[in-house]
């Protein structure tokens, strides 16, 4: 996971993003919004596959790293690749958190939290908005 912010590989203007995304997707992906808890399409799914960035299609997470945290959003303990996401400090909402961005287009995905005691290999919880993702099921 990179904490540096090189220029995104996919660069569009706000108008181009608005044409590509629904208003709800734009609000989360491009304006760092959050979907309401327990409403996202992938919160409870157990479908095996690859989770891509809904904005640019980059591979971000895999179902093998998804776990049930009961927090209201899909949770993953690791990204698909170490360079798939960018982490940066987020001082909004009167607290300090770590924001998770797509490394390819710098769209907002959610936040990552450490040390919460979940029984995962990394002790991390990538709390990701469903609306930021698109699941591509793997064929059996």
Residues with catalytic annotation?
A: 127
Contacts of 105 by beta carbon, 8 Å cutoff, 6+ apart: 8, 9, 10, 11, 12, 53, 55, 56, 58
**70: CB partners within 8 A, 6+ apart:** none
- Helix spans in the chain (H): 14-20, 23-29
Tally of residues, the chain: 140
DSSP state of 77: S
């Amino acid at each position: 996971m990179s904490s540096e912010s090189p220029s995104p590989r996919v660069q569009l203007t706000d108008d181009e993003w608005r044409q590509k995304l629904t208003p709800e997707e734009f609000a989360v992906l491009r304006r760092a919004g959050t979907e309401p808890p327990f409403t996202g399409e992938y919160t409870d799914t157990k479908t095996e596959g690859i989770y891509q960035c809904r904005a640019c299609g980059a591979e971000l997470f895999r179902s093998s790293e998804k776990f049930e945290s009961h927090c209201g959003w899909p949770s993953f303990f690791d990204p698909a690749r170490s360079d798939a996401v960018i982490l940066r400090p987020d001082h909004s909402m009167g607290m300090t958190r770590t924001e998770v961005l797509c490394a390819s287009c710098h769209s907002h995905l959610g936040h990552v939290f450490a040390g919460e005691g979940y029984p995962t290999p990394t002790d991390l919880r990538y709390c990701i908005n469903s609306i930021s993702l698109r699941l591509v099921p793997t064929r059996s």
